[in-house]
Amino acid sequence: MTVDEDKIDDAVLALMWLTLHDERRAWKSFDWAVTDRLYSKGLIHDPVNKSKSVFLTEEGLERSRELFRLMFMRNPE
């Protein structure tokens, strides 16, 4: 069985929408490998710092909102 890391990344990015604060910051209490991949994809800014949150890029913010809507909303339209 092989794990689809892109699906994991999408799920984490969608869950970041739940912890969004200060317009573009989300708690980074997710697996470091995932946050590294999201950074490599240009969806978040560098997660390696002392802050407990990560700053989403414009693309990351939009994708986070859309993925949250698709994955977790009833009747997403």
How does pLDDT run across 22-72, given as a tens digit for each residue? 989 999 889 999 999 999 999 999 988 888 999 999 999 999 999 999 999
Q: What are phi and psi of 29, to 5 degrees?
A: -85, 40
Instruction: Output the domain CATH number for residue 24.
Output: 1.10.10
**Confidence at residue 22, expressed as pLDDT on a 0 to 100 scale:** 92
Q: Is the pLDDT at 76 greater than 70, yes or no?
A: no
Residue 69 has what pLDDT?
95
Residue 68 lies in a domain: yes
77: in domain: no
In this structure, is residue 33 part of a structural domain? yes
Answer yes or no: is pLDDT of 77 > 80.
Answer: no
Q: Which residue range forms the structural domain that includes residue 10?
A: 5-72
Q: What phi and psi values does residue 56 have, to the nearest 5 degrees?
A: -80, 140
49 in any annotated domain: yes
Q: Is 20 exposed, middle or buried (0-12, 13-18, 19+ CB in 10 A)?
A: middle
Q: Is residue 47 part of a domain?
A: yes
Q: Is residue 34 part of a domain?
A: yes
Residue 12: is it exposed, middle or buried by C-beta count within 10 angstroms (0-12/13-18/19+)?
buried
Answer whether 44's CB lies under 8 Å from 60's CB: yes
pTM above 0.85, yes or no: yes
